[in-house]
Amino acid sequence: MTAMPQAPARRVHHREGFQEWRSGSGPSSVRPTFAIAILLISIAILATAAPASAQDRTQTRSMVISRGGIVAAESPLAAQAGAAILARGGNAVDAAVAANAAMGVVEPMMNGIGGDLFAIVYEAKSGKLYGLNASGWAPAGLSLKFLKSKGITEMPQSGILAITVPGAVDGWSKLLARFGTKQFSEVLAPAIYYAREGFPVPEWDAAYWDDSVKLLQRDKNAAATFLPGGRAPRVGELFRNPDLARSLELIAAGGRDAYYRGSIAKSIAAYSAKIGGPMTAADLAEYSSEWVEPISTTYRGWTVYEIPPNGQGIATLEMLNILEGFSLAKYGHNSADALHAMIEAKKLAYADMYRYVGDPKFSEIPVEGLASKDYAAARAKLIDMAKANCNVPPGEPALPAKGDTTYLTVVDADGNMVSLIQSNYSAFGSGLVADGTGFALQNRGGLFKLDPQSPDALAGHKRPLHTIIPGFMTNGHERIAFGIMGGFNQAQAHAQFVSNVVDFGLNIQEAMEAARFTKRTFAGCDVDMEDRIPAAVRDNLAARGHQIILHGAYSATMGGGQAVERNADTGVNFGASDPRKDGEAIPEAAPTRAQP
C-alpha cells in the first residue's frame, strides 16, 4: 500500500502555528492539536479520493466498460472504424471486418488482404459458437518435387516460393454473408479512406517498418509501395497507399470474386509467373475458407475454445490440461513455482503440436488424444518441479478410431462477439507486392516441412501448420473473447492469459498486461521473460536450469493482445488493450438522435 502522506512533518508553511509545530517551538499544548487535526484531514482526503486498494494496482490503464459495443484493436483508428459501424447499426461481425480492413491499411507489415484469417463468432440469439478457418493453401504446383528440382533443401521463408493463397478476403465474405448486416461497400469505407487520404504512422509500427527495410528493398514493387522516398516512414509522418485503396474499392464493388477471380487475382498470378513462382489464377479461383467446429477443454470451471488444426490452438488446450494438476493459485502469481510449471507445460504441449499438427485433410491428427485429460495427466508426470527439462520429446496420444499478425475483438450491445486474428506471418510477409495491388503477399508457406513423413509436409492445395489463433472462454454468464499475437508465442500466451483470469482473479486488462514469458524455440532451456518478473524469481528459475533472456517491461517479444468480456446477466461489456501495442479498446458512441 502507498505510504500515508506525512504532511505536517514534511511541509514548511508560513503560518505561525504550523511552523511552530514543525520546528518544535511554541507551547506544547498547540503541537498535538495541530498534529491531530492534520492527520484527520489527511485521512479524510484519502478516504474521499479513492479506495485504498486502488492505490496499489499494477495495470497501466482501466478497462473500457459500456452497455454499448466495444472494439479492441491494435490501432485506435481501426478500433474507431469498427465502433463507427456499430454506431450506424452494424453488429459485431460488421465491425470486426471494418476494423480488420482498416488494420491492413494502417499496419501493413503485420496483416492485410495478402494474408490469412481465423475467427470465432459467438451468436447471442442462438448461444452458439462458430469457427472459421480462412487460411490459404499452397499453389498446386508447389511440391516437394518442385523444390527438389531447384536444389532447395529447406523451406524458403520469404520470396515467391513461400507464398500461399491469401484467405482473408474470402473469410470476410463468409463472415458477412452468414452473420453480417452491412455490405462490403460500407464496412470497407474507412479502410479505403485511410489508404487514399493517408494516416500518421504510430510508434510501434514505425519501428516494425524500419526493421523491414532490407526485405522491402529486394522487390521493386514493395519498395515503391512501402518505402516512400527510399526509406520507412517515421513516427507521425503521413503514409498513403493509393494502390491499396483501388484494390479495396474493387472488393467493395465486386465482393470476394473481385479478389479471387478478377483483376487482383490476375495481377498476383501474372507477377508469380514473371518471377518464377508456381501460383496460378486457378489456385486463387478454387480457394474457399471453411466453417469449422471449435475445439475446447475445461479449466477449473471455465470452458476454453480454440480453432482446430491446422492451427496451434490445440497446444493451448493441452497446456491448460497439464496445468490443472498444479496449484498455481497456491504458488502465487508469477512465482517461481507457477512459472516453472507453465514453462515446462509449454515444452510438453509444443513438442506434441509440432509433431502432430498439419492439414487434417492430408493427415490423421490425434486432436481428441492431445486434448484428453488423461493424456495431459500422464504428460504432467514428466515435470520435475526442481529442474528444467532441456530436451522434451513428443508423447504418443491416442489416435482416433478409423472413420506477425493482428488480433482484434468485438462485442456488440446485443452480446454478439467476434474473436478475429489475421496475419501476413512475418513482417511484410514474403516481401513481394504484385503489380498495382498495394499489399504484401504472405509467406505462410514458410511453415511447411520438407520431410515427407511429417503431417506438415509440403503439398499442393494443402494448408500449413498455422500460428495464428483466436481464443474464447466462458463460465456461466461470463464470456471473454481474446487473442495474443506473436508467431509460436500465441498458444503459450493464451494459456497465461487464461490462468491470469481463472487462477489469479485478474480482470481482462490486468490479465493482458501482466508480465509474461515466452519460449520461442522448441528445444533447449532458453526462455524469454519481461523484467517486471522479480529478480528473485528469475534467480530461482535460473537455479532450476532455465536460461533466461531478459526483455523490457512491456516487450513486443511477448506479443500484444486484445480482449472483450460480456456479462450476460447485466448486459455490461468490458474491453482491454495491450500496452505492448499501439492499440485501444473503443466503445460504441452514444446515439445522437434528437429527443422528442
Is-contact 448 456, C-beta < 8 A? yes
> What whole-number distance in Å separates Cα of residue 195 and Cα of residue 206?
17
* Helix, strand or coil, per DSSP, at residue 120: strand
* Helix, strand or coil, per DSSP, at residue 565: strand
What does the buried/exposed string (b/e) look like for 326-364 if buried means 16 or more CB atoms within 10 Å of the residue's CB? Answer: bebeebebbbbbbbbbbbbbbbbbbbbbbbbbbbbeebe
Active-site annotation holder among 164, 405, 409, 437: 405
Taking Cα atoms as reference points, which of 87, 63, 69 lies closest to residue 418? 69
For Cα atoms 177, 182, 187, give the angle at the middle one, nearest 5 degrees.
105
Is-contact 517 319, C-beta < 8 A? no
> Among this protein's residues, is 521 annotated catalytic?
no
Give the distance, in angstroms, between the CA of residue 348 and the centroid of all CA atoms in the same chain. Answer: 22
One-letter amino acid for residue 246 of the chain: R
One-letter amino acid for residue 124 of the chain: A
Alpha helices in 324-455 (DSSP H): 328-331, 336-356, 367-370, 373-380
Is-contact 201 240, C-beta < 8 A? no
Phi, psi for 477 (deg, rounded to 5): -85, 0
* Helix, strand or coil, per DSSP, at residue 172: helix
> What whole-number distance in Å separates Cα of residue 594 and Cα of residue 596?
6
Is-contact 107 406, C-beta < 8 A? yes
Question: Which residues are tagged catalytic?
Answer: 405
